[in-house]
Structure 1
Amino acid sequence: MVVAVVAGLVAALGVVWGQLPAFAAGVTASFVRVSDWGSGWEGRYTITNGGSTAVSSWSLVFDLPAGTSVGSYWDALLSSSGQRFTFSNRSWNGLIAPGGSVSFGFLASGSGSPVGCLLNGQACGGGTGPTGSPTATPTASASPTVSPTTPPPTTPPPTTPPPVGGLPKHALIGYLHASFANGSGYLRMADVPAEWDIINLAFGEPTSVTSGDIRFQLCPVSECPSVETEAEFIAAIRAKQQQGKKVLISIGGQNGQVQLTTTAARDAFVRSVGAIIDRYGLDGLDIDFEGHSLSLNTGDTDFKNPTTPVIVNLISAVRTLKQRYGADFVLTMAPETFFVQLGYQYYGSGPWGGQDPRAGSYLPVIHALRNDITVLHVQDYNSGPIMGLDNQYHTMGGADFHIAMTDMLLAGFPVAGNTANVFPPLRPDQVAFGTPASTSAGNGYVAPPGVQAAVNCLVRGASCGGYAPRSGTSPGFRGLMTWSINWDRYYGWEFKNNHEPFLNALP
C-alpha cells in the first residue's frame, strides 16, 4: 500500500522513470519464457549487475506486438502506454550489489514476445530486444486447467456469523497512517471522523524479515510535527471504542515483509503482536502481508493441507491470538489479488514447477481461519488483469473488476482449475473489497458511482453490466475498505462522504 503513495507522488510531480541516470556498464537484463500454454505465457526478466558499483534503482521498458498484453505481474511496478510496458523496481529490490541480480515476472495473453528492451534507456544486453533464450515450454498438460465450460461451484456458504459486537451490517473500513510520514499528511486519532467503523493502524513491522518480532510506534515528531503523545493516542482510541468503532493493528504493508519460517518466529509474533494489542487496548489484528511474506514451497499443492512453514506458522500464530482474546477479537485481512483470485488459474509453483510460488498463497491462510475471519477485504488495486468465474480477464479501474473479484469469494472457485479442489465460499458478512480513496492513493481508483454500482450488483443484483454474479445476491455484504483515511481527508473526504450514507441505506 505504501508504494501506491510513492507512485502517486511521482505521478503528481511529473517525474518519469526515463530520467533516472543510466546504469554503469555491465548491468544487463535477460528474458525467459517460463511457461507457455498457447493463448498466453509467463515471462521473467532477470537484471544482473556485472559492474563494480552497486545499482540503486532500475527501469525496464519493452514493446509487445498488437494482440499481446501484460496481465498480472510481480516484484515490480508497471505503467503502460499502448503496447509499450515499463517495469520499475519496488522498494525492496531496487538495490543490486555488484555480482547480484533481481528478477520480476508477469503473465501475458497472446503469442507475441517482448521486443526493443531498454534498461534505463540502454539496450538490455547489447541488442534491441530481450536477451536470453526462451526456456522449453511445458507439455500441453502443464497449461492452466481452467476450462470455459467449468461450472461455477454451488456450495452454499454457512449462514451463522460469529459474534462480533459493535460492527454495523455494512461497514466503512480504512487505514490510518500512524507510524510514518506520508504525502497526504499526518492525521491524529482524535481527528478521525466518526463514520469510520474499522480503523487499521498502519503499520506494525518486524525487526527483521524472519524474526517474527513486530514493533509499532507513533510517527516520530521529526517526521510528523503534529503527532499526538502516546497517552493522547490511547485516549482517542478509547473514545472511538466507546462509539462502537474497532481499532486494529495492521501488520506488514509494502515495506513490512514478515516470514514466519520457524516456530521461534511464530512464538515471537504472538508475543509481540499481543504486546501491541495490550499496550494500546486494541480490538484485533489486520494481516496485510505483501511482497514476499507468503509463498508456497515446491510440492505444497493442497490449500486445505498446507505444509510450507511460513503458511503453517502464520495460521498457528493467528489462532493462538484469537484464542487468547476470545470471540470479540476482530480479524481482518487485506491480500492483493495475486495472492487470492489468481489462485483460480495458478497455485504456488505448480505441479511442474516454474510458476511464481506466491500465486494464491493466501488461500490456505484464509481457508484455515475462515471461522475466525471478521472481514476479508482484498485490495482491488495495484493489480494486473485477473480471470474471473466467467473465464474472462477483468481489469482494475471499474465496477466490473470489483464485481468479478468479489464474486469469486462469495461463490468459491476451483483452485488452479481443479474442480476436485474447490475453495469454498465465504459468508457475505465476511466479505468487503478495497479500493483507493483517490487517484494518488493507488492504481485502480474508481469514482464513487462505479464503486456503488459494484455494491448494488453484489447486494441487489442491479447495475451488474455484463457480469452476472455466480453467487447471486448477497445482502449481507460487509462493506468497503480504502487506502487510506489520510488520502481521503487530503481529497476532501470524497470516499467517506459518498459511501458511508450509501452503505447505511443498503438493506
Structure 2
Amino acid sequence: MRRIPRLLATAAAALTAASLAPAPAAADPAPAELPDRVLAGYLHASFANGSGWVDLADVPDEWDIIHLAFAEPTSPTSGRLEFEPCPAEECPGAPSEQEFTAQIEQAQQRGKKVVLSVGGQNGQVSLETPAARDAFADSAAEIIDRYGLDGIDIDFEGHSLYLDEGDTDFRAPTTPVITNLIGALHDLTGRYGEDFVLTMAPETFFVQVGHQFYGSGQWGGADPRAGAYLPVIHALRDRLTLLHVQHYNSGPVLGLDGRHHTMGSADFHQAMADMVLSGFPVEGDESRFFPPLEPGQVAIGLPASPQAGNGHTPVAEVQSAWDCLTTGSGCSGYTPEQPHPGLRGLMAWSINWDRYNGDEFATEHGRHLG
C-alpha cells in the first residue's frame, strides 16, 4: 500500500474532520438601530376599549417604538408583573399568544422596537421592599424573554411614586419606592446590555412640577408625588433610551420663563420640553440643579386624537412647537434660549386611537419629522 507523506496525511485528516464537523450556527442579526427621529406609540395589547383592537401586523410603518400596554402587578406592592395578550372574547380579532409572539418577531424584522410597558392609569406599582424590587426585575425579565421583547417602558402614574419626608435631594434619594425602582432598572439594563430599550412616560406633575415643588416641600404639607420621577430619571440617565413626558392630563405648569403654561398649545410643548432639554433648579434651588438630558433622549408625549385624552393638540400646533424647539424659528408663547436640533421625536397615546382617527398622527407627524 502506497504511503502518504506525513504533511499530506495531516492535511487530508483536517479536511475530513472539517467536512464532518457541524456548520457553525449563523449569528443572530444585530438589533436594528433606532433612527434619528422616532415616533413611539402605545398599543392596547392586554385590554380593550372603545378604540378597537389593532394587530401588530397592522401597525403603520411610521411607528418606530411600539409599547405594549400594559403589564400590571399582582398587587400594588408585590412587584410581580403579569402580562397576557387580550383574549379574543374581550378583544374580537385578537390573535392567539403564538400568533402574537410571531407578530412581535415580524415587527422587529421590520426594524421596530417592541417594548413592554408597565403600569398605566390602573397599574399601581409601589416597590416598597427589596423583595418587591427583585420580583419586579425577575418577572419583567420573564415576560421580556417569553415574548422576545426589546426593552421596558416605565409608565407609573397615580400613587406609585412619592417622596418620603426629608427626602429632598434627587441626586441621593432615600425613599424605598424610588431606590428600589432604580435598583430594579439597573438590574434589568445590566442583564440585557446596551441594546436594551429603556423608556419612561411620566406625567408633568412628576417631572416639570419639580421646578416649583419637590415632595412635601421644605415646610411640609405639599403633595409628596411632586417631582418624584426626577431621581429615577437622573439615576438612569446613562442607560435611558427615551423620556417622553406626557404633555397631557396636566394642569398649568411653571416654565423656565417664570410663566405658567397650559396644555393643548404649542407654547406648552415648547416650555415643557425645554425644561428637560435645558435643565432646571429643583424647587427653585440652584444648588439642586437637574441637569439636561441629551436631545436624543427626549420626545414629546401627546394624545393621538381628541378621543385619546385631555390636552390634544392640533397637528399644526404640534409641528409649530417641533420647529421652534429644533430650529428656533416660529416660536410663540415660549422661546428656548437655544434650539435643540437633536430632539428625538414624538410619543402618542395611542396607536389604537390614532387608527380610530384615520392614522392622522402617524401620517402627518411622520412626514413632518422625516
- Structure-1-length-normalised TM-score: 0.67
The 1-side partners of 2:33 and 2:49 are apart by 30
Amino acid at match of 1:339: F
Question: Post-superposition shift, 1:466?
Answer: 3.2
Amino acid at match of 1:426: L
Question: Post-superposition shift, 1:243?
Answer: 1.4
- 1:290 and 2:153 aligned: no
Name the counterpart of 2:345.
479
How big is each residue's C-alpha offset from its partner over 1:235-260, in whole Å with a ceiling of 9 and x where there is no partner?
11111111111000000000000000
Question: Post-superposition shift, 1:191?
Answer: 1.2
Name the counterpart of 1:344.
211
The 2-side partners of 1:347 and 1:250 are apart by 26
Name the counterpart of 2:172.
305
Residues 32 and 112 in structure 2, CA contact (< 8 A), matched pair in contact too: no
4+ runs deviating over 6 angstroms = none
How big is each residue's C-alpha offset from its partner over 1:27-48, in whole Å with a ceiling of 9 and x where there is no partner?
xxxxxxxxxxxxxxxxxxxxxx
Secondary structure in structure 2 of the residue aligned to 1:225: coil
How big is each residue's C-alpha offset from its partner over 1:110-136, in whole Å with a ceiling of 9 and x where there is no partner?
xxxxxxxxxxxxxxxxxxxxxxxxxxx
Question: Any residues of structure 2 matched to 1:21-420 within 5 Å, and which?
Answer: 165-420=32-287
Residues 164 and 329 in structure 1, CA contact (< 8 A), matched pair in contact too: no
In structure 1, runs of 5+ residues without a counterpart are: 1-162
Residues 68 and 117 in structure 2, CA contact (< 8 A), matched pair in contact too: yes
Amino acid at match of 1:287: I
Residues 164 and 327 in structure 1, CA contact (< 8 A), matched pair in contact too: no
The 1-side partners of 2:271 and 2:61 are apart by 31
The 2-side partners of 1:311 and 1:164 are apart by 31
Name the counterpart of 1:14.
none
Residues 190 and 233 in structure 1, CA contact (< 8 A), matched pair in contact too: no
Residues 164 and 330 in structure 1, CA contact (< 8 A), matched pair in contact too: no
Secondary structure in structure 2 of the residue aligned to 1:421: strand
Amino acid at match of 1:322: T
Secondary structure in structure 1 of the residue aligned to 2:312: coil
Name which of structure 1's ranges 459-468 and 254-263 shifts more when overlaid on structure 2: 459-468
How big is each residue's C-alpha offset from its partner over 1:462-488, in whole Å with a ceiling of 9 and x where there is no partner?
111131103x11111000000000000
The 2-side partners of 1:237 and 1:476 are apart by 29
Residues 205 and 251 in structure 1, CA contact (< 8 A), matched pair in contact too: yes
Q: 1:171 to 1:327 in 2, by over 3 A?
A: same
Secondary structure in structure 2 of the residue aligned to 1:271: helix
Question: Post-superposition shift, 1:164?
Answer: 8.4
Residues 441 and 484 in structure 1, CA contact (< 8 A), matched pair in contact too: yes
The 2-side partners of 1:222 and 1:468 are apart by 50
In structure 2, runs of 5+ residues without a counterpart are: 1-29
Q: 1:164 to 1:423 in 2, by over 3 A?
A: farther
The 2-side partners of 1:245 and 1:391 are apart by 40
Identity %: 64
The 1-side partners of 2:31 and 2:367 are apart by 22
Amino acid at match of 2:259: Q
The 1-side partners of 2:31 and 2:38 are apart by 13
Name the counterpart of 1:421.
288
Amino acid at match of 2:182: I
The 1-side partners of 2:184 and 2:95 are apart by 31
Residues 186 and 486 in structure 1, CA contact (< 8 A), matched pair in contact too: yes
- 1:490 and 2:356 aligned: yes
Question: Post-superposition shift, 1:165?
Answer: 4.9
- 1:451 and 2:318 aligned: yes
Question: Post-superposition shift, 1:229?
Answer: 0.9
Residues 151 and 198 in structure 2, CA contact (< 8 A), matched pair in contact too: yes
Name the counterpart of 1:21.
none
Amino acid at match of 2:42: Y
Residues 266 and 317 in structure 1, CA contact (< 8 A), matched pair in contact too: yes
Residues 377 and 481 in structure 1, CA contact (< 8 A), matched pair in contact too: yes
The 2-side partners of 1:164 and 1:499 are apart by 25
The 2-side partners of 1:288 and 1:394 are apart by 23
Q: 1:243 to 1:165 in 2, by over 3 A?
A: closer
The 2-side partners of 1:327 and 1:221 are apart by 36
Name the counterpart of 1:60.
none
Name the counterpart of 1:434.
301
Please report the RMSD computed on the Cα atoms of aligned residues, expressed in angstroms: 1.0
Amino acid at match of 1:476: G
Q: From 312, 330, 334, give the equivalent of 1:463.
A: 330
Amino acid at match of 2:361: F
Q: 1:229 to 1:190 in 2, by over 3 A?
A: same
- Structure-2-length-normalised TM-score: 0.91
Larger radius of gyration, structure 1 or 2?
A: 2
Secondary structure in structure 1 of the residue aligned to 2:309: coil
Amino acid at match of 1:474: H
How big is each residue's C-alpha offset from its partner over 1:110-163, in whole Å with a ceiling of 9 and x where there is no partner?
xxxxxxxxxxxxxxxxxxxxxxxxxxxxxxxxxxxxxxxxxxxxxxxxxxxxx9
The 1-side partners of 2:216 and 2:191 are apart by 35
The 2-side partners of 1:458 and 1:345 are apart by 23
